[in-house]
Amino acid sequence: MAATAVVFAIAVLVHSVICGAAAGTTAATKRNFTIPSSPSTKNKGPVTYVFGDSMSDVGNNNYFQMSLAKSNYPWYGIDYPSGEATGRFTNGKTIGDYMAEKFGVPPPPPFLSLSLYGKDVLGGVNFASGGAGILNETGVYFVQYLSFDEQITCFETVKKAMVAKIGKEAAEAVVNAALFQIGLGSNDYINNFLQPFMADGTTYTHDQFVRLLITTLDRQLKATTHSTRLYGLGARKVAFNGLAPMGCIPSQRVRSTDGQCLREVNEYALQFNAAAKKLLDGMNARLPGAQMTLADTYSVVMELIDHPEKHGFTTAHTSCCNVDTEVGGLCLPNTRPCRDRSAFVFWDAYHTSDAANKVIADRLWADMMTMSRGASGTPPPPPRAAAPGPAMAPAPSPSWSN
């Protein structure tokens, strides 16, 4: 136990130093952002800012030398257009990549690549980082990553650079019109509350833990008297991905005695989703201009798990890489992936496959089109809101582990 405490102490120290350097205001002045003198109108879809964990990470963690949450090695990226690993935690594209295609825009680049390549931040930025959660203590044993609070600080850095280049009014207009896609929360369970060596699981009951998550998320999404968070920075259109049926991902199934979904863990996800929807609805009522919704990823992914054959899959209970372990569970170079990668819903023990990501994106896009009531050419609103508390389905946002 003492050795474990020392390891966590070192991890916290290293994480704090590195992330402070990455996201701090001092580093902000050194980043080589490309900011046009006026906002670009060439893109068909909305400017998109992505916040999240490994389900949305497109390479941010590659820039952390000591991060234990990386996927920049074979077999990851084998079905990506380049055929090479990019830092995405799947064999090909993420759900966000497929959504960007539907909007007619390139996937936003990882924030930590901007200082090296000087990319245009007015086209959107991806701040997602494998291992991240809503709580700052979540994922600490991955050593280096960007927590949600740090991702917001990174966005604040981008906003300041925009204001300096195009002026406050123009920058505010860009941000107000942008779509903020957020996929977080599953790491707070998979790599925190459900882990016996993490304090939160023994400190809180689940009801208390949900309140902690929602209270923290409330602070992160809006401005308070002590800090300026996303709404205070100009975010108005927010699509928050609800938790998927976490009890059905391979790393959780191996904890059951019969290989079935863990009903209690799925109930945790439903309870969180109901509380998150109530929070977002309340913000819409109180905050001028707020358009915040909870995307019903739970139903979308559960359908893939319960009826994989409807979408061309044969296997939804185990991973293509056959790495169904509670800790670890990544498709390492010494593993051998399945022969037909398009037949599996899950790529590794935590993450959906490229083929599944496309199906999920198609469903979310269809939901957005159904809800759209804007004029032609106006970007549709964020995905449909989830039901406040759907009944337990029989038996990751995809925003599961790492």
Strands (E), 229-334: 237-241, 291-295, 315-319
Active-site annotation holder among 348, 354, 397, 399: 348
pLDDT at 42 over 60: no
> For the whole model, what pTM was predicted?
0.86
Could you tell me the pLDDT band of residue 19, with boundaries at 50, 70 and 90? very low
DSSP state of 182: E
Active site residue 67: no
CATH code, 2-31+46-244+255-296: 3.40.50
Could you tell me the pLDDT band of residue 60, with boundaries at 50, 70 and 90? very high
Do residues 132 and 151 make contact, with C-beta atoms less than 8 angstroms apart? yes
The predicted structure's pLDDT at residue 224: 61
Active site residue 351: yes
Active-site annotation holder among 15, 53, 54, 67: 54
Q: Which residue has the higher pLDDT, 178 or 46?
A: 178
What 3-state DSSP class applies to 316?
A: strand
The predicted structure's pLDDT at residue 369: 78
Alpha-carbon distance 197 to 354, whole Å? 32
Residue % of the chain over a pLDDT of 70: 79
At position 34, the amino acid (one-letter code) is T
Active-site annotation holder among 57, 71, 299, 351: 351
Per-residue pLDDT tens digits for 147-205: 999 999 999 999 998 998 889 999 999 999 999 999 999 999 999 999 998 999 999 99
Domain ranges of the chain: 2-31+46-244+255-296
Active site residue 115: no
Query: Which range among 13-22, 299-308, 324-333 has the greatest average pLDDT?
Result: 299-308
Do residues 33 and 158 make contact, with C-beta atoms less than 8 angstroms apart? yes
